[in-house]
Amino acid sequence: MRCDLKPFYFAIVFIKISSCIERRDDIISCAIEVANNNFNYRQSTLILYNDVDNKMVTDFVMAYQGTVLIESRGVDPAKQVVMIVDNYQSFMRLLSRLKSDLRGRYLFNGGAKFLIVINSNRKKLDHITTILWSYYVTDVIILTKDKKNKVAFFTYYPYRNHLNCQNTEPTFISYWTPDMSLRDMYPDKMSNMHECPLYISTNKIYHQGGTDRKIPLQIIKKSIVRLLRDIMNFTPIISAREYISIDSDRAKNWSDSLNDVISGFANISTCTIPLGVDRLGLLDYSMPYFRIRIAWLAPPVGPGPMWWRLLSPLNGYLWLILLVVTFIVISLPFVLKFKRTKQFCTRYFKNFDKVQGAAFRVWGAMLGQTIRVAPRRFRDFYIVGLWIWFTFAVRNAYQSVLIGALKTDTLTGNFANLKETIDSGFKFGGRAGIYGHFEFDPLIRDGFEIIPEVKFEDFFREILEGKRKFVLATSLEYAFAFCLAQGKKENECGHVLPDSILTVPLVVWMKMYSPFVRPLSVWLPRMIESGLLEKEANLKTTYVPTINSDPSPLTQHQTLTCFLCLVFGCLISLIIFFLEILRKKSSNYTIVKKSKLVALEKEWEFVRDYKE
């Protein structure tokens, strides 16, 4: 009996042990494989569950290779979310417990990957996908069972075709088998929108028409839309709102430029609004695609007096040479009066004290007359020295730059910085929105004048016409568009202070966690780095050139000006020559008069002595 009961005893023990080891559910095994093959292990995965056995959650946590965070009412947005529920009602009850954080961010967002496990009933999947699309959740895999307990994969494609562009119907992918590959289960569903509309809100730089095709920023905006259309295969529907400038009031920018995106009337916005605007947790943006230049714009420079052309080309070195030559010429007669110098010159130079006729010879040398007599006396050495200094150090140097000076227009109002304009009596200011870019500079903060929006255009026109001594802080793109609309040339569009230019980046705005964040973050950098946007628009500058380096020959007017300068120089030399002659004669008359007076005094003394 004892041997007969032994096999029966071992059978009872085997059945008891095998009953203690429960088999893992297939749907959890499938969810584990999907998560291990598609989730990023370096990021935490949030696990939410409701109305299911705790063993299902435990099995997933034990087999998942990444870090997990288990919550029953998660509030912080996560990049990877696993939801384990029993049915649609369990999903809705779990959804009702989810709250947004203090910044308004919600768990459901278009930037996260969702894995939803529905254990018992797959009814109302279309309701679930509709809720997911209301939060722009497109990266989602839904696991459920059919009537035969087979695990099935579902998802949805919001842009299935151009006739169904808000599609939320669940799409069956396949049934799960243990040997199937589960990689790349989250494709980019925005890569092909099947010609569905993409609503784009934008604004113009200047409110008058006819300038869009010539403004670089407007050309780049159109290029971005066109290139994205070819890549993502959508139909762009563009709505241009009221004219807004980047230096407009920020409240106006917020209400007019970004309200379409916030309210859902537009998917993206390419408005000209700076990054400094508070997003309030509602908006996200791409990398900068353009940088608007903000600068101080003074009235246009004007031509200076004609005689400025003779002085403008002389740099510091030429002025130094002129001063040295002038000092030597002026100081030489005084040096010759020193006792030791006079003794040295009397000893080594013949007829040192005889310099008659030097004025005429110096005048001839200054006019370029050749010296035909070999220098033998000190007078000749003096004249030759002056001739060498004047010819090689002064006249040739000045003539080498005289032509360039006559071809270069002298400018007035060509200020280098804001301090120079303030010292010249100019006031400065701009729109209210631009004040924030300069508020930390005490020089600007104390004297900045805010110009109202309704008066800005007339105010700017008066500055360009030279009616106001005012320096305006504005964007150069706006100034360029305004001048194009007014038919003004580039050199009539104000003078940009060279040291005042700062750049403000422009971005593409969209809702926080929008499904378009991924394609824009991928394709927009490629457009910029490949030079496609720069190729479309050549950026122009409003700088006014100060020097003309044109190698063309002199015109008739410039040639006439050269001869007038030559005649003017000859006239001055003649006047100086006659003054020297008059001075010489007056000095001789004074000497004769003094000698006669001395003779008379001697004669008078002789007569007086004789009488005595």
**What is the rounded average pLDDT of the residues 413-435?**
83
Of residues 431 and 386, the one with the higher pLDDT is 431
pLDDT tens sequence across 238-272: 888 766 666 665 545 555 667 888 888 888 988 87
**What is the rounded average pLDDT of the residues 357-370?**
54
Q: Please check the confidence at residue 365 and state whether its pLDDT lies above 60.
A: no
pLDDT band at 539 (very low <50, low <70, confident <90, very high): very low
pLDDT band at 547 (very low <50, low <70, confident <90, very high): very low
pLDDT of the residue at 12: 32
Q: Are strands 113-118 and 140-145 parallel, antiparallel or unpaired?
A: parallel
Instruction: Give, as one character, the DSSP assignment of residue 206.
Output: S
Alpha helices in 207-351 (DSSP H): 216-232, 250-257, 259-263, 316-335, 339-348
Question: Residue 428: left if φ>0, alpha if ψ -120 to 50, beta else—which one?
Answer: beta
Q: Please check the confidence at residue 38 and state whether its pLDDT lies above 70.
A: yes
pLDDT of the residue at 17: 33
Nearest to 223 by CA among 542, 604, 537: 537
Distances (CA, A) of 536 to 236, 240, 292, 520, 605: 19, 21, 17, 19, 105
Nearest to 337 by CA among 329, 325, 345: 345
What tokens does 523 get?
Answer: 């394709």
pLDDT tens sequence across 452-501: 878 888 888 888 888 888 988 888 888 887 887 777 877 788 888 887 67
Q: Are strands 196-203 and 268-269 parallel, antiparallel or unpaired?
A: parallel
Average pLDDT, the chain: 75
Report whether 32 contacts 64 (CB < 8 A): yes
Fill in the amino acid letter for 474: T
Fill in the amino acid letter for 558: Q
Alpha helices in 367-516 (DSSP H): 378-388, 396-407, 418-423, 442-447, 453-464, 476-486
Q: Please check the confidence at residue 131 and state whether its pLDDT lies above 80.
A: yes
pLDDT of the residue at 264: 83
Q: Please check the confidence at residue 540 and state whether its pLDDT lies above 50.
A: no
pLDDT band at 96 (very low <50, low <70, confident <90, very high): confident
Torsion, CA 409, CA 415, CA 416, CA 420, rounded to 10: 150
pLDDT of the residue at 545: 38
pLDDT band at 353 (very low <50, low <70, confident <90, very high): low
Nearest to 325 by CA among 399, 237, 395, 256: 395
- Residue 160 CA to residue 169 CA, distance in Å, equals 10
pLDDT of the residue at 34: 93
pLDDT of the residue at 85: 92
- Ranked by mean pLDDT, the top range of 93-107, 139-153, 207-221, 240-254 is 139-153
pLDDT of the residue at 339: 80
pLDDT band at 154 (very low <50, low <70, confident <90, very high): very high
Q: What percent of the chain has pLDDT over 90?
A: 13
pLDDT of the residue at 155: 93
Report whether 415 contacts 495 (CB < 8 A): yes
pLDDT of the residue at 546: 39
**What is the rounded average pLDDT of the residues 424-443?**
80
pLDDT band at 305 (very low <50, low <70, confident <90, very high): low
pLDDT band at 396 (very low <50, low <70, confident <90, very high): low
- Residue 214 CA to residue 205 CA, distance in Å, equals 12
pLDDT tens sequence across 571-582: 887 787 777 677
- Ranked by mean pLDDT, the top range of 303-307, 376-380, 536-540 is 303-307
pLDDT of the residue at 18: 35
pLDDT of the residue at 466: 83
pLDDT band at 315 (very low <50, low <70, confident <90, very high): low
pLDDT of the residue at 84: 92
Q: pTM to 2 decimals?
A: 0.64
Q: What percent of the chain has pLDDT over 70?
A: 66
Backbone angles phi, psi at 312, to 5 degrees: -65, -35
pLDDT of the residue at 543: 37
Of residues 201 and 547, the one with the higher pLDDT is 201
- Residue 569 CA to residue 556 CA, distance in Å, equals 20
Reduced to 3 DSSP states, what percent helix, strand and coil does the chain have, rounded to the nearest 5? 50, 15, 35
pLDDT band at 351 (very low <50, low <70, confident <90, very high): low
**What is the rounded average pLDDT of the residues 129-145?**
90
pLDDT tens sequence across 206-243: 655 555 667 788 888 888 999 999 999 999 998 887 66
Sheet (strand 140-145) strand order: 68-71, 45-50, 80-85, 113-118, 140-145, 151-155, 171-175
pLDDT of the residue at 141: 94
- 25-175: CATH topology: Rossmann fold (3.40.50)
Q: Please check the confidence at residue 322 and state whether its pLDDT lies above 80.
A: no
Report whether 437 contacts 504 (CB < 8 A): yes
pLDDT of the residue at 10: 33
